[in-house]
Structure 1
Amino acid sequence: MPRITQEEKAHNREIILEAAGRLFRSRGVKAVGIAELMNDAGLTHGGFYNHFASKNELVAEVCAASFLTSLASLAQTVEEGDREGASPLQRIVTEYLSTRHRDAPDGGCPSSSLAADAARDNAAVQNAYAHGVEGYLTGFASELLREAHEKGAALEPREAHRRAIGLLSEMVGALILARAVGQADPDLSEEILYAAREDALR
């Protein structure tokens, strides 16, 4: 049987990471077995260990990669600046606390979709998650400082970081709640999104 090239191996690894990211975010880490994951990726079960030493290693890498993608999107929004009368932070809040984002956990932000898994997982996964959260806080605090400067308002970096923590906590918490009650009480789910969105935008 011919051996695969390094390029093919790297490609297969990316396929596994992509499939794992989608499945973990939509269903949770514990609900997804390696056999199912590899089948979804279109690869053989035994091939998993050619790329990862364990499922825990995969989870940590998925967490890190998911945050990288999410933070790149945040950076792009910031780079675009104010659009249609809305600041980057306003657009981020509006999109994050939207029905569309609530209904697409498989491609959504890992800060909400992987929170419960990270809380129960090992140090490597929690480190990857914490690094991603810090990335969000840094981005939010930077934008809060920029907005304050443009308005001529005084805002210390420490206070901006504190406000960034509050903003991210409200966004993540609201999205988790909205998803948790979405099927049982759709109206309540929408109300949670609306209330949190309005509060955050203020």
Structure 2
Amino acid sequence: MGRVSQAQAQKNRRHVVAIASRMFREKGTAVSIADLMKAAGLTRGGFYKQFVSKEDLVDEAIAHAFDEQAAHSPVAIEEPAGDHEAARRTLIEDYLSVWHRDHPGEGCPVSGFAADLGREPDQAARARDVYINGVRNRAARLATGDDGMAQLCTMLGALVLARATRGNPISEGLLQAARTALTESGTGPSEPQQRTD
């Protein structure tokens, strides 16, 4: 079997990072390297040609998830038109949707990586820094200062609880209650802060 070209190796690496980003959000960072590489359609031995360690892959997967989310954010799409409140409502509706509840692997990295980073305090500083910037940026897209943080906490808490209660009517009720609280109760629009990344 011939050697893989440098271009193919880079393509394989990007593919593994994308698969890892999805699988880690869906199943947690405890996913084995063997399962990850199988999902990527590559051999386990190929992992060690691409990455120094699993921790390095976790770092890259977290960064990839935030980059991917930023590129597809409704705020990024709508805000240049000057309608922050419409973008904010779209973000809330999308975040607190049944689809987002049921597709954690394609969803927000704030919710997808929270438990793992909370359990793994020794995770590389780069991952934690990327995650913290992601949290700040997501909150800033909602509102300024503490109000944005509080809104993000409401969204994240509702999503985690809805995922934990999926299959029971309370799950949709939790999502709806948070949407209502954030869009109809005077949690008002305020100008977003500048991104920190």
Separation (CA, whole Å) in 2 of partners of 1:119 and 1:176: 14
Tell which deviates more after alignment, 52-61 or 114-123: 114-123
CA shift digits 1:128-166 (9 cap, x unpaired)? 21121122133333xxxxxxxxxxxxxxxxxx2111101
- For residue 79 of structure 1, report the CA deviation from its aligned partner: 3.5
In structure 1, the residue matched to 2:189 is: none
Matches within 5 A, 1:159-198: 160-183=144-167, 186-198=168-180
In structure 2, the residue matched to 1:60 is: 59
CA shift digits 1:72-123 (9 cap, x unpaired)? 222124345549xx71101110111011111111101111121101112214
TM-score by length of 1: 0.82
Code of the aligned partner of 2:148: A
In structure 2, the residue matched to 1:94 is: 93
Separation (CA, whole Å) in 2 of partners of 1:81 and 1:41: 40
Matches within 5 A, 1:20-35: 20-30=20-30, 32-35=31-34
Separation (CA, whole Å) in 2 of partners of 1:64 and 1:2: 32
Structure 1: unaligned runs, 5 residues or longer: 142-159
Separation (CA, whole Å) in 1 of partners of 2:32 and 2:150: 35
- For residue 60 of structure 1, report the CA deviation from its aligned partner: 1.2
Q: Provide the aligned length of Structure 1 versus Structure 2.
A: 179
Identical amino acids, percent of aligned pairs: 40
Q: Rg larger in 1 or in 2?
A: 1
In structure 1, the residue matched to 2:77 is: 76
Code of the aligned partner of 1:194: Q
Separation (CA, whole Å) in 2 of partners of 1:195 and 1:116: 23
Separation (CA, whole Å) in 2 of partners of 1:111 and 1:80: 26
Contact 1:71–1:136 under 8 Å retained in 2: no
Separation (CA, whole Å) in 2 of partners of 1:44 and 1:162: 46
Distance 1:47-1:98 versus aligned 2 partners, 3 A rule? same
Residue 87 of structure 1: SS of its match in structure 2? helix
- Provide the aligned C-alpha RMSD in A: 1.7
- Runs of 4+ in structure 1 over 3 Å off: 79-83
In structure 2, the residue matched to 1:148 is: none
CA shift digits 1:36-83 (9 cap, x unpaired)? 100110111011011111111111111111011112222124345549
Contact 1:138–1:161 under 8 Å retained in 2: yes
Contact 1:178–1:189 under 8 Å retained in 2: yes
In structure 2, the residue matched to 1:133 is: 135
Code of the aligned partner of 2:88: L
Separation (CA, whole Å) in 1 of partners of 2:139 and 2:37: 34
Residue 53 of structure 1: SS of its match in structure 2? coil
In structure 1, the residue matched to 2:45 is: 46
CA shift digits 1:160-191 (9 cap, x unpaired)? 211110111111111011001113xx201111
TM-score by length of 2: 0.84
Distance 1:80-1:104 versus aligned 2 partners, 3 A rule? farther
Code of the aligned partner of 1:65: H
